[in-house]
Amino acid sequence: MLKRLLPNLACMLCHQHSSSVVCQFCRYDTVFFHHTDKPSNLLLRPEVAKYVKHSAIDGLYSIGPYQWPLNKLIGRLKSSRDLLPAGVLADWFAESIANADLPLLPEALLPVPITYWRYYQRRYNQAVELANLIGKKINIPVDTQWARRKTAKQQTGLNRQQRLQNLRRAYIVSDGLPYRHLAIVDDVITTGSTVDVLAKQLKRANPRVKIDVWATAVTLAPLVNRS
Ligand SMILES: [Zn+2]
């Protein structure tokens, strides 16, 4: 706690002297999804959309590609409940949304749930931490009761079809949600399978709802054994 009250003297990424958590040089070297000459909705950018499953998602918004330093900040957030990287990610995400050509903001942020077992191990859900910080900055409520993750079978050792089937059975989604426009929040989108399954279930349970995905980073290069 005391550490958080003291001014930062070093950049979290390069460890050089800095009065901010991430120094100006590291920020300068960060690759952002800029909105000046391209649509803010990444699903309208073929170089992103081709890697992300989006049969039920209407929009995808993110800070930048999953590479240094976003991977480092997200890794740190996941490995320990360190709110400093979460704060940087939330600040950058809020800036990105402020610059986006977004017709309307969603009415609620829905963090992707994790299993009770994972929660028990980690004591926190990084998607909830991010959603809370972003929601506070942009003034959008966070709904953590919208879905529940069951203790599903491990995805490892399953083929692509089995993984998808496993994923479809993994979540229970609420019906009768009082919203028309939502954003599912996650730290990183790798294939989009999880958020797409969740969006599909949400639309089935809540017809006519518009669903965006807000992720702090998106993986662009295809991975081996993507699910
Ligand atoms: Zn730095």
Confidence of residue 227 (pLDDT cuts 50, 70, 90): very low
In DSSP terms, which residues pair with 182 in a beta bridge? 108, 211
Query: pLDDT tens digits for 112-127?
Result: 998 767 777 777 899 9
Q: What are phi and psi of 94, to 5 degrees?
A: -60, -40
Tell me the CATH number for domain 35-218.
3.40.50
Centre of ligand 1 to C-alpha 150, Å, is 40
Interatomic CA distance for residues 88 and 70, integer angstroms: 10
Q: Which residues contact 122 (CB under 8 A, 6 or more apart)?
A: 81, 114
The pTM of this model reads 0.89
- Name the least confident of 37-41, 70-74, 84-88, 111-115: 111-115
Question: Which band of pLDDT confidence, cut at 50, 70 and 90, is reported for residue 226?
Answer: very low
Can you point out the beta strands (E) in the chain? 59-65, 108-111, 147-149, 171-173, 181-189, 210-218
Q: Using one digit for the tens of pLDDT, what is the confidence trace for 79-91?
A: 887 889 999 999 9
What is the pLDDT of the chain when averaged over all its residues? Answer: 88
Tokens of 186: 């996650």
- Output the pLDDT for position 124: 83
Peptide bond before residue 69 is cis, with ω within 30 degrees of 0? yes
Lowest mean pLDDT among 58-67, 86-95, 154-163, 218-227: 218-227
Distance 224 CA to ligand 1 centre (A): 31
Q: Please tell me the predicted confidence (pLDDT) of residue 50.
A: 92
Residue 181's φ and ψ, nearest 5 degrees, are -140, 120
Distance 11 CA to ligand 1 centre (A): 5
Which alpha helices (DSSP H) does 80-222 contain, by range?
83-98, 116-122, 126-138, 160-168, 193-205
Per-residue pLDDT reduced to its tens digit, 163-191: 777 777 788 888 888 999 999 999 999 99
| Domain segments of the chain as ranges | 1-30, 35-218
Pick the range with the lowest mean pLDDT from 21-35, 104-118, 197-211. 104-118
Cα(89) to ligand 1 centroid in Å equals 15
Whether the predicted pLDDT of 223 surpasses 60: no
